[in-house]
Structure 1
Amino acid sequence: MMMTGGCQCGRIRYTAEIASSEAYLCHCRMCQRATGGVSIAFVNLKKSAVSWQQEPEYFHSSPIARRPFCSACGTPLGFEYPDSANCDLTVGSFDEPGYFVPAHHFGVESLHEAWIDTNGLPRYRTDDNAPTVERWMTKVGKLPD
């Protein structure tokens, strides 16, 4: 299945041939530091299955790995070992991230258990927050996608 995605500002766009809806959550400290989150959702695929309309910049996060990102808006787009045929793309950078489902956890030595089962927490919609809606409508005229 062909899917598209890109960064928040739209400068970096890609098309990817997706073989499966399976994704995974990485909890390793490198990903936590690179994203500022407790985990990040990735889809693993062949590098040859990804076509970049605009080549992203790469942050060399360690001697063995690099991470594509947009230098204009800062969106993290993935992770890869340069010597591997595969790469990971961030689930959130896809235009339709809801297609993917988590199949496993990785980097569990750094997993924060309190953030795994959040089903009992209250849930709030962005568009129910009047100050946020007012800011968007005043500055942009519409809510974000």
Structure 2
Amino acid sequence: MRMIAGGCLCGACRYSTDAASLNVRVCHCHRCQKATGAAFYARVMVPLAGLAIDGPVGWLGSDSGIRRGFCKGCGTTLFSERQSAGTIGLSMGSLDRPELFEPTEHIWTSSKQAWLVLNDGRPQHPEGLPA
């Protein structure tokens, strides 16, 4: 098993885990677009237990049950935590080695930016994952 590690732009926040990734997805929902300031949120999901976080992380809760973590110094989006499921998403842009991960599917494509063409052959779900 490989170590997953990353951090923010200014270097004040770092995280790491020895856990294997649970999934790698790209979310196109409006909440993720707003939270990241980008057209989508690519993230690596890992178990919350065992994730070591160091530095001045700020947390913003929401009524969706997802808590977002960011560096208080530079504002880098780092995490999307779902405590009820015991999982946390690591922003792929904050990973030290993002090339080690490849998304398997797109979710909430009904909310994707109109100019964004998804032609990578990965499954696309108009909303969340089917039950």
The alignment's TM-score, normalised by the length of structure 1, stands at: 0.73
**1:91-136 deviation digits (Å, cap 9, x = unpaired):** 11111111111101112220235323489xxxxxxxxxxxxxxxxx
Contact 1:12 1:55 in 2 (8 A): yes
Q: Deviations over 1:77-102 (max 9, x none)?
A: 01112322111110111111111111
Q: Secondary structure at the match of 1:34?
A: helix
Which deviates the most, 110-119 or 95-104? 110-119
Flag the 1:27–1:47 CA change in 2: closer, same or farther, 3 A. same
The aligned length equals: 119
2:81 is the counterpart of 1:80:
yes
Give SS of 1:38's match: coil
Q: Which residue of 2 aligns with 1:139?
A: none
Letter matched to residue 33 of structure 1: K
Contact 1:2–1:18 (CA<8 Å) still a contact in 2? Answer: yes
Alignment of 1:100-111 (within 5 A): 100-111=101-112
Q: Which amino acid aligns with 1:44?
A: M
RMSD: 2.2
Question: Match for residue 54 of structure 1?
Answer: 55
Query: What SS does the aligned partner of 2:82 have?
Result: coil
TM-score (norm 2): 0.80
Match of 1:16 in 2: 17
Over the matched positions of the two proteins, sequence identity in percent amounts to 33
Residues 45-68 of structure 1 show CA distances to partners (whole Å, capped at 9, x for unaligned) of 100131112362101243522101
Change in Cα spacing, 1:110 to 1:63, as seen in structure 2 (3 Å) is closer
Supply the distance in 1 between the matched residues of 2:116 and 2:10 (Cα, whole angstroms).
28
For residues 54 and 108 of structure 1, the distance between their equivalents in structure 2, rounded to whole angstroms, comes to: 34
What residue number does 1:68 align with? Answer: 69
Greater C-alpha radius of gyration: 1
Bigger proportion of residues as helix: 1
- The question of whether the paired residues in 1 share the 8 Å contact of 2:45 and 2:90 is answered with yes
Equivalences for 1:1-145 in 2 at 5 Å? 1-20=2-21, 23-54=24-55, 56-62=57-63, 64-112=65-113, 114-117=115-118
